[in-house]
Amino acid sequence: MNAQLKIAGPSSELLGLESILIGSLPAAMMTDEAPDRYTVEAVFTRKTDRDEVAAIQGSETRAHLSANGFPTVELHVADRRLEIANTNLEELRDGLAAVIAERLAEISAALVAAREIAALRFQDATDREQERAASVAALAESVSFTRRPIAAVSDEDARIEDWVEEGGAFRS
């Protein structure tokens, strides 16, 4: 039996970001009324899966951003977009974009590795089960429901004769 396990997720390609959605930026950009911080939306290179979304929005990613100097930035996934809150284009250009890109690649690589390990474990368990089932079948096939020869079942006279010949008894 050949079983193949499809590794979950849309692709083994590392998750990344393609571009910023210009239409999502504040209308007052580059004016005196422009906000200092706002939400920037960026488009993913592919659809995310639920494990990736959980990791992107999780505490490890928040800690990673804080450790890299961006403690107020928050990430949220909305369809094929990443909403990057409490930031601005200058901050993204000057390092935040690279930090986010690195984190997305780390998340993807870790999930791909975990899925590959799970697939290998599943295949190993399947192989071991097939070997066990084959051994059970072979043992079951070795069982024979045939009668023993009658002489072998009750050959007490021959055993007594052997005993007598070996000197185990005196004949009178």
| Per-residue confidence band for 58, with pLDDT thresholds at 50, 70 and 90 | very high
Which residues are 42's β-sheet partners?
Answer: 20, 82
Instruction: Name the pLDDT band for 1 (thresholds 50, 70, 90).
Output: very low
Query: Confidence band (pLDDT; 50, 70, 90) for 115?
Result: confident
Helices (H) and strands (E) counted in the chain, each on its own, are: 6, 4
Say if CB 9 and CB 111 are below 8 A apart. Answer: yes
In 3D, which of 42, 51, 54, 32 has the Cα closest to residue 85? 42
pLDDT of res. 7:
42
- 57: its two tokens: 């929005």
